Structure 1
Amino acid sequence: MKKTFLYISCLLLFSTRLFAQLTPFELSKDKNYTANYHEIITYYQQLAKKYNQLKLLNIGSTDVGKPLTLIVLSKNRVFDPALIHKQNKRIILINNGIHPGEPEGIDATMMLTRDLLKNNKLPNDVVLCFIAVYNIDGCLNRGVSRISQNGPRAYGFRGNARNLDLNRDFIKADSRNALAFMQILNTWQPEVFVDNHTSDGADYQYVMTLIETQKDKQNPILAKYTAETLSPELYKRMKRTGYEMIPYVESEKTTPDSGIVAFLETPRFSTGYTVLRNIISYVTETHMLKPFDKRVYATYDFMQHLIDICQRDHELIGKLKQQADTQVKQQKTFALNWELDEQHHDTITFKGYEAGWKPSEISGLNRLYYDRNKPYTKTINYYNTYKPTISVDKPVAYVIPQAWGKVIELFKLNEVEMHQLAHDTTLDLQMYYIADYKTSTRPYEGHYLHSNVKLNAMTTKVKFLQGDYVVYTNQAINRYIVETLEPQGVDSFFAWNFFDSILGQKEHYSDYVFEDIAADLLKRDPELRKKLDNEKANNLKLAASASQQLEFVYRNSPWFEKTYLRYPIGRLLSDTKLDLK
């Protein structure tokens, strides 16, 4: 009896060790299961006990109180980022589960990590960093909310614990998740970044689509390598392993055969944020209607191919990154907004399904459908050219009052080099006044976004205080500095409401008191009287309104507050010697 018990115990122990290396996805009979948060972390902890080339790091915290788990794979067991870069090795950072209802990357990374370790396939010159699951909050909120998606049978929720879409949070950084991500990015300084997703939209034959950093938005040194070498090689290798890719399908009109448009990832998105750091960036988008197992294996293959190519080109990628950083330090003009150039397009071969219209069983009106019995291969237009609509010349430096604490903290977290004034200082600066802007009528990710910002620039003397910050624009991170601080930028800090308090007037007047003061002012200032008369002649509405005329005098008087609508960050246009701490 004791021998039988011992035999069964040994068999169970052997089975446990055998199956410990299989992922929950692989253990499921129908391959339609994605690991839950506990299973994910437990799996990596078991691997870490077995392999010393793997290290688990808990970084920061998330809005649900749990740290981000970073899996680091290093063939020679060097886990010091500074030493890794000193050894001329590249770092790839791969993010999973930013939308936990799009979990392919989670399961594919679990398998890939095991296989690289078990088969001794870790690259010699590339260190791999995987975020096990970024939106832990949403991963714990498990359900079936993505009704248009073909599996898995249960998965996490798109929003995090604060109901934020974390792939819209990289500039504004409302979540602690984003702050932890910044800590990872600035500690490890990867040259290549991937964010794994699942698409929605049209139906077509491909399992995998791909978003690459838009070529006109990417640093031209990196854009040339990405467009001419890295991306074509990824497309070729994916086709060879059975998962032919196409660029992310965003239709020009209704259906893909009308042409597709390259996705423009602005800095609110993960890859729009990383490109500000001259990081080569991709988003994988597996197709929502394909079986879950195919989506997982396609994601696995993509990551493996990317790793292999980066190993092959590791020296070149490192040199290009250094060249791009140097170029950005010296770059003078920066684009802030972009629009699609519909006059220019490429053509690509597209494998889709014929689209049609039929009466809806719900409304009786026409509805769109795709007929999988009618596949086609067509040449379609691919609109992949964007042109800047707003550009700005950088100043020598920006001067930021220390009162704007969130800006300062984000700059510190992003390792922007800053200096502080040693004492109170009056500076000749170019200051912006907000002349006009539009604000969204509904909240977007917790904010009422500003757009179409119009500015009046004025050179004036402004007093700054001891401890206020000076940010010189001679840094590799210039794009982040300029695109966040220039208020007309699409994802600037102003657009995200960081500075909304300047939009409110703090002082005013009692009209019956100011009437006498204004009359006296007009008697003593004939130029102001002339200005008022001209305005009355050109503005009949003002001419008929006593209150508007009084307001006009007030706004042109010495008593009107100079800081109303004045953007608080100054632009230092000349190389002035400053007394800095």
Structure 2
Amino acid sequence: MKPVSLPSNAYFLRLVSLSWGVINLLSGSLFAQSKVSMLTPYERDTNQTATYPQIISWYQQLDKQYEQAKLVEVGKTDIGKPLHLFLLAADKQFTARPDRVTLLINNGIHPGEPEGIDACMMLARDLLKASKLPKNVLLAIVPVYNVDGSLNRGVSRVNQNGPVSYGFRGNARNLNLNRDFIKAEAENTRSFQQMYQSLKPQVLVDNHTSDGADYQHVLTYFSTQKDKLHQAVSGYMTQTFQPELDKMLAAKGFPSAPYVNHMGDTPESGLMGYNDSPRYSTGYAALFNCFGFTLETHMWKAYPARVKASYVFDEAVLRLCERDAQTILANQQRADKAVQQQTSFPLSYKWDRSKVDSITFLGYEAVYKPSEVSGLKRLYYDRTKPFTKRIPYRNTFVADVEVDKPGAYIIPQAWPEVIMLLKRNGVKLQTLSRDTVITVSAYYIADYKSPQRPYEGHFIHSGVKLRTDQQSIQFYKGDYLVKTDQATNRFIVETLEPQGIDSFFAWNFFDSILDQKEYFSDYIFEDTAADLVKNNSALRKQLDEKRASDKAFAESADAQLDFIYRQTPYYEKTHNRYPVYRLK
């Protein structure tokens, strides 16, 4: 066997030196990776927004590193991934309590508008790292709500200045989740509702990116429509919270303006307040006396500026919640008690054109030039000509349909989707213990309008006209009684009254009642109808009056037969009868 020769001392020392170099290089690399891991994907490249796996991994890391943080799964989404909620609590107690404000920040409802996603990742880290969590606020962050759209990554917003790629507006069912808060067709929404009711927040922020006109402001926002809130909540929001918020934003270099919903061709014509009905996040929150803000950073500003604006906005809201926690809690509690006793409820609102305020707006001069595409006149904003001026602002809404609440509603168990929605949204229900006949006030749908094309998969009913009839109706053991002495009364009334703009009837939950199930054969019913008219003078008078006032009716034999048929016992009482009954 050939003897093994050991390396010379010089060679050995060289090997050792190389080995230590590799070790030092690796340790340096690991240290660098550790340091980099404290940076979000956005901070590593400010024209990138975090992907869904990166977002969840980031919050998992914070959960492991800090006892004041907890990442939880709150339900399903349509794409099969869980919906996450990240909770931050200085006292490590992660449940809502009546002695502290819950601030809910929602991100990625439209994942193509991702600033809030990146801003909240940094904000959560910074609050934990600096130990700056308020003791009197539970901060609840939805890392990304539309998980489905976040995974559908690419480019789709042609008017937006970065990032390089981002998620899509629609979810896995191509639903816009910010139109789904009442009908709750998406699993995302059902999970959100359950989570919302467990948190019962006092303040909500929903982070977005704008579309539309060009102007100097990096951020605009709209608050919950003030005229829909209880005066205790509304007065504080408009007179204290918003003025302070605007001061804080301006001090950080982000002077704000109301969301640019302009009346004419350009913002100079004046801005209109936004009527956020319950289908929207802030409108949904308002049903539970929670005031909210939809932040809209400007689409054409550089992405880093938009992310910073989102960070500043969310942090400012948090600090105001910390400062005024006791007032915010007291206002919501006062509103909850008032809603329990409230007797009349608005169902829809109209814009009051007579009330005009003004705001300071930082815009660009709007000019027109020939289009290089069509050759026709086109609008553009000249950024070399900025202006600061007062412009009109109309933000007053008045109720145009109101209803007195009944003592209770009765809902047959045959409508389980409606029952489930009520339960999930914190409404207390009782079941009838036996079969019984009850005298109720029954609505009949006398008229309504529906669009020709679907909206979010529905043909939403509007312009609903009703007639009311007192009837004794057979109900059964297991049918549901919904009393209207609850803090959730606004949700109850605005969803169960068919004239509500976002009622369950409007969203087609009860469309089967609009179908007539039994009819008549003309040639047989002609003789029956003739006898009825001959022997019933009141019916004959009604028929003659309608012929005289309605030419089309007078010229239609079918219409006249149908008119008579509807006066007979053969005509089904359930046709157009709304199956939610009012009980005094």
TM-score tier by shorter-chain length is over 0.9
CA distance in 1, matches of 2:378, 2:169: 27
Matches within 5 A, 1:57-206: 57-81=72-96, 84-85=97-98, 88-206=99-217
**For 1:218 and 1:535, how far apart are their aligned partners in 2?**
45
- The residue aligned with 1:9 is 26
Tell whether 2:575 aligns with 1:560. no
**What is the deviation of 1:296?**
0.4
Deviation at 1:553, TM superposition (A): 1.9
Does 1:238 find its partner at 2:249?
A: yes
- Report the residue type matching 2:358 in the other structure: T
Give the Cα–Cα distance (whole angstroms) in 1 for the partners of residues 399 and 507 of structure 2.
Answer: 20
Whether 1:49 aligns to 2:64 is yes
**391-400 vs 528-537, greater mean Cα deviation:** 528-537
Please report the TM-score for the alignment, with normalisation by the length of structure 1. 0.95
- Unaligned runs of 5+ residues in structure 2 are 1-17
Match for 2:54: what amino acid?
A: E
Residue equivalent to 2:560: 549
Report the Cα offset of residue 8 of structure 1. Answer: 2.6
- Kept after mapping to 2: 8 A contact 1:284/1:299: yes
1:21 corresponds to 2:32:
no
Partner of 1:32: 47
Offset of residue 550 of structure 1:
2.2
Deviation for aligned residue 1:518:
3.2
Q: 1:476-513 CA distances to partner (integer Å, 9 max, x unpaired)?
A: 11111111111111111111111111111000122222
CA distance in 1, matches of 2:103, 2:548: 66
Tell me which amino acid in the other structure corresponds to 1:133.
V
- CA shift, 1:11, in A, is 1.9
1:46 CA drift (Å):
1.4
Q: For residue 434 of structure 1, report the CA deviation from its aligned partner.
A: 0.8
Q: How does 1:321-470 map to 2 (within 5 A)?
A: 321-470=332-481
CA deviation map 1:506-539 (0-9, x unaligned): 0012222223333444455444344434444544
* C-alpha separation in 2, matches of 1:110 and 1:133: 11
CA distance in structure 2 between the partners assigned to 1:267 and 1:298 by the alignment: 27
Q: What's the CA shift string for 1:23-58, capped at 9, x where partnerless?
A: 000011xx1110011111111111111111110001
1:565 partner amino acid: N
2:526 is equivalent to residue 515 of structure 1: yes
Deviation at 1:5, TM superposition (A): 3.1
Asked if structure 2 preserves the Cα contact closer than 8 Å seen for 1:21 and 1:47, the reply is no
Q: Tell whether the 8 Å contact from 1:349 to 1:380 is kept in structure 2 after alignment.
A: yes
Identity %: 53
Cα separation, 2, equivalents of 1:372 and 1:331: 51
Structure 1 match to 2:11: none
Which residue is 1:299 aligned to? 310
Deviations 1:235-256 (A, max 9, x none): 0000001111111111111111
Q: 1:530 to 1:205 in 2, by over 3 A?
A: closer
What SS is found at the alignment partner of 1:180? helix
Secondary structure in 2 matching 1:55: strand
SS in 2 for 1:466: coil
Letter matched to residue 419 of structure 1: Q
Most deviating of 453-462 and 405-414: 453-462
Cα distance in 2 between the residues matched to 1:540 and 1:105:
60
Given residue 14 of structure 1, which amino acid in structure 2 is its aligned partner? F
Count of matched residue pairs? 567
What displacement does 1:163 show? 0.7
Aligned to 2:421, the other structure's residue is in SS state helix
Normalising by structure 2, we get a TM-score of 0.95
Answer whether contact 1:20 1:46 (CA < 8 A) is retained: no
**8 Å Cα contact 1:195-1:284 kept in structure 2:** yes
Contact 1:23 1:111 in 2 (8 A): yes
SS in 1 for 2:570: coil
5+ residue gaps, structure 1: 574-581
Kindly state the Cα deviation for residue 144 of structure 1 after the two structures are TM-superposed.
Answer: 1.1
Counterpart residue type for residue 421 of structure 2: L
Rounded Cα–Cα distance in structure 2 between residues aligned with 1:55 and 1:98: 21
SS of match in other structure, 1:156: coil
Please state if 1:280 is matched with 2:291: yes
1:281 is aligned with what amino acid? G
CA drift at 1:59: 1.2
| CA distance in structure 1 between the aligned counterparts of 2:65 and 2:31, rounded to whole angstroms | 15
Equivalent residue for 2:330?
319
